[in-house]
Homo-oligomer: A and B are copies of this chain.
């Protein structure tokens, strides 16, 4: 376990929501936190200073993508991913497992590791737990993830059990192999949507000496109800004194529900990806900016938002940019959406601090004209 990483749980709300803070070699991060995704060494359409100015102190990097392009050697020659991409906050890198199992057409899994074909040049690439750690150490991220096996969400239970067993063995190998003092490593809990498997794997993985623990294998096609129910039966089996990270999740609703179920960290491509397709998140729900109803709309995207985009531009202008295929559309939309997600977490943290998280949750749904899901 890295001594450079510390997590302090400051408060647990009666609802289950937690307030904490973690410290890495590069920054201090208040939790619950949403981490913007910088897949290929850039948070798409953003300068690092813009991401930082919004209040983000940690972003994600994708090992799978950086392994294939430009390759860890080139990143390492820059002095690591921080210098490569000019980001002075923290970086969490995933292990590449999720992408190999979801993106790669051809892959071959064995007990020792996984082999897949690079979609870039067709070359065979081999990833083992040890190599996943080596690559992340070359990238120099603040938090590395163990290599896990991600089974198909709708597959038979025995496949999920098999994936869990291999994931546990690989987690131990990652643990044994790691050697970078400045880098924390997180374990990953799998188990599909099966309550018994989630409990079993949480107990297995969380008995290992990692700096934090992630919940993997969710937001892969199951319903919201299934995801929330799975969280209900997983987080109670995770240690309270270490951060909990729900990987690849999610919508604003998912963040609120995740926090209530004791999750501290989230990441998702949603705000950046949907920004580029003209979908904007607001306190009142979603705005599809290309709609002709915004043609002469002189209002900001979200009247309750004080982001750069909302302070300076009308919906009419944003619609013009989007329908004109201007790059600035992606820039301004991403600025707004990322600010929305980061600010949502800020609002959530304040609500927990002020002992009114459940009230905040009610207001959150009321503004959207929705009723909260059953707990």
Q: Chain A: residues with CB nearer than 8 A to chain B? A: 40-42, 44-47, 69-70, 74, 77-78, 84-86, 295-296, 298, 312-314, 316-317, 319-321, 323-324, 326-328, 330-331
Beyond the given pairs A40-B321, A42-B326, 13 more chain A to chain B contacts, judged by CB atoms under 8 angstroms and listed by A's residue number, are A40-B326, A41-B317, A41-B321, A45-B328, A46-B328, A47-B328, A47-B331, A69-B320, A69-B323, A77-B298, A86-B313, A327-B330, A327-B331
Identity of the chain B residue whose Cβ is nearest the Cβ of A70 in the assembled complex:
B320
Chain B residues within 8 Å of A85, by CB: 317
A–B complex contacts, Cβ < 8 Å, 17 sampled: A40-B320, A41-B317, A42-B326, A44-B326, A45-B327, A45-B331, A47-B331, A69-B320, A69-B324, A70-B320, A77-B298, A78-B314, A86-B312, A86-B313, A327-B327, A327-B330, A331-B331
Given A47-B331, A331-B47, A74 contacting B316 (CB threshold 8 A): yes
Please give the distance in Å from A68's CB to the nearest CB on chain B: 10
Measured between alpha carbons, how far is A46 from B329 in the docked complex, in Å? 10
B47 engages A316 (CB within 8 Å):
no
Measured between alpha carbons, how far is A330 from B325 in the docked complex, in Å? 14
Chain B residues within 8 Å of A330, by CB: 327
Measured between alpha carbons, how far is A78 from B320 in the docked complex, in Å? 13
Please give the distance in Å from A73's CB to the nearest CB on chain B: 8
